[in-house]
């Protein structure tokens, strides 16, 4: 059982490297998930080793019977191993404590490993590093990327839909201009960034905006924009794109999990902990000169 009782898109996607690692170590094992909200069945539907998904309601005080019945189901289930995927989660620790499991892991942080590996603090990586140490496995192997595990049909659908949407054979850069709270950049910044991208790449790339479920645009809907609340269809479209640019948010992690080269913009959250990793992805500090870095990264990926 892997516990991550958080309903946010990004936080659930950040456990996918851990799930893939568990599948490598225990290929015949079934994994139950203890989560919050209704996203998990959509995100993990192509993970063939996922069995039961315990879904706590997003607003427990409005659904008390459902809330306590899910906890009861968890307590009555027996496991070989129960893991709290985020040491800072009190609900995660409680779920592992109450679970009937032969082995329990409450905390996947390790100060010694943090000193040895510069990327240890990344939210997707430190559970994997620590699990390898606990199980006496080789620690410095490559860590799986975030993955929503799109199948060939989903990728083909996304490719065809994107081609119909843009109406040409040019490559495509996707912008996602929304984020919550102080992670959301100003309209002026996005207008400046778009103008520079348009000036530099207009002959070779389409530039489109992916809209959030709130249907908000920091570019005031002035460029071609796409709206969908269907997560996997959106992931398919992203997988067919050539670059994705956004602030640190759940959609940034969805893009990474969809295998589109992702450029994450960071100003307030910790880039070391959340940046999109892998050779085609990059996290950029926007307190420094950053537009030229974005253009250089895209040029290098052509």
Contact between 202 and 196 under an 8 Å Cβ cutoff? The reply is no
Closest CA to 189 of 119, 120, 245, 128: 245
| Whether residues 112 and 157 fall in one domain | no
129 domain residue, yes or no:
yes
| Whether residues 161 and 263 fall in one domain | yes
Backbone angles phi, psi at 54, to 5 degrees: -85, 115
Burial class (CB in 10 A: 0-12, 13-18, 19+), 72: exposed
| Whether residues 127 and 36 fall in one domain | yes
296 domain residue, yes or no:
yes
**CATH code for the domain in which residue 248 is found:** 3.40.50.2000
| Whether residues 162 and 282 fall in one domain | yes
Instruction: For the chain, give the percent of residues with pLDDT over 90.
Output: 93
| Whether residues 170 and 69 fall in one domain | no
254 domain residue, yes or no:
yes
Instruction: For the chain, give the percent of residues with pLDDT over 70.
Output: 100
Taking only the tens place, the pLDDT of each residue in 48-85 is 999 999 999 988 777 888 899 999 999 999 999 999 99
108 domain residue, yes or no:
yes
Q: Output DSSP code: residue 212.
A: P
Confidence of residue 202 (pLDDT cuts 50, 70, 90): confident
| Whether residues 69 and 187 fall in one domain | no
| Whether residues 119 and 205 fall in one domain | no
Q: What's the domain range around 98?
A: 2-134
Closest CA to 14 of 277, 253, 269, 275: 253
Query: Could you tell me the pTM of the whole model?
Result: 0.95
143 domain residue, yes or no:
no
Boundary of a domain, candidates 66, 101, 134 = 134
144 domain residue, yes or no:
no
Q: Mean of the per-residue pLDDT values for the chain?
A: 95
Rounded to whole angstroms, the Cα distance separating 166 from 192 reads: 22
Rounded to whole angstroms, the Cα distance separating 294 from 302 reads: 13
Rounded to whole angstroms, the Cα distance separating 278 from 133 reads: 22
As for how many domains the chain has, the answer is: 2
Boundary of a domain, candidates 99, 134, 169 = 134
| Whether residues 160 and 266 fall in one domain | yes
Is the pLDDT at 47 greater than 90, yes or no? yes
Taking only the tens place, the pLDDT of each residue in 105-139 is 999 999 999 999 999 999 999 999 999 999 999 99
Confidence of residue 279 (pLDDT cuts 50, 70, 90): confident
141 domain residue, yes or no:
no
Boundary of a domain, candidates 134, 164, 198 = 134
52 domain residue, yes or no:
yes
- Say what the pLDDT of residue 62 is: 78
User: Cα dist. 135→25, 116, 162 in Å?
Assistant: 9, 18, 44
């Amino acid at each position: 059982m892997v516990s991550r009782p958080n309903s946010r898109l990004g936080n659930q996607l950040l456990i996918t490297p851990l799930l893939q690692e568990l599948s490598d170590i225990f290929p015949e094992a079934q994994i139950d998930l203890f989560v919050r909200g209704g996203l998990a069945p959509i995100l993990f539907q192509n993970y063939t080793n996922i069995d039961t998904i315990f879904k706590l309601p997003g607003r427990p005080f409005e659904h008390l019977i459902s809330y306590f019945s899910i906890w009861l189901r968890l307590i009555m289930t027996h496991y070989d191993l129960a893991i709290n995927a985020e040491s800072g989660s009190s609900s995660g620790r409680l779920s592992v404590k109450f679970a009937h499991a032969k082995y329990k892991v409450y905390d996947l942080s390790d100060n010694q490993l943090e000193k040895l590996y510069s990327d240890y603090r990344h939210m997707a990586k430190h559970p994997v590093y620590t699990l390898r140490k606990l199980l006496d496995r080789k620690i410095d192997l490559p860590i799986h990327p975030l993955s929503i595990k799109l199948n060939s049909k989903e990728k083909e659908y996304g490719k065809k839909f994107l081609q119909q949407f843009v109406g040409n054979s040019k490559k495509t850069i996707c912008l996602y201009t929304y984020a919550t709270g102080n992670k959301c950049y100003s309209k002026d910044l996005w207008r400046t960034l778009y103008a520079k991208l348009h000036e530099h790449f207009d002959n070779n790339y389409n530039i489109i905006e992916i809209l959030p479920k709130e249907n908000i645009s920091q570019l005031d809907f002035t460029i071609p924009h796409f709206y969908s609340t269907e997560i996997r269809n959106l992931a398919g479209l992203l997988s067919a794109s050539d670059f994705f640019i956004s602030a640190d948010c759940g959609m940034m992690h969805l893009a990474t999990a969809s295998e589109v080269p992702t450029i994450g913009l960071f100003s307030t959250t910790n880039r070391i902990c959340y940046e999109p990793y892998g050779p085609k992805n990059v996290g950029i500090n926007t307190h420094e000169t950053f537009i030229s870095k974005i253009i250089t990264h895209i040029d290098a990926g052509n």
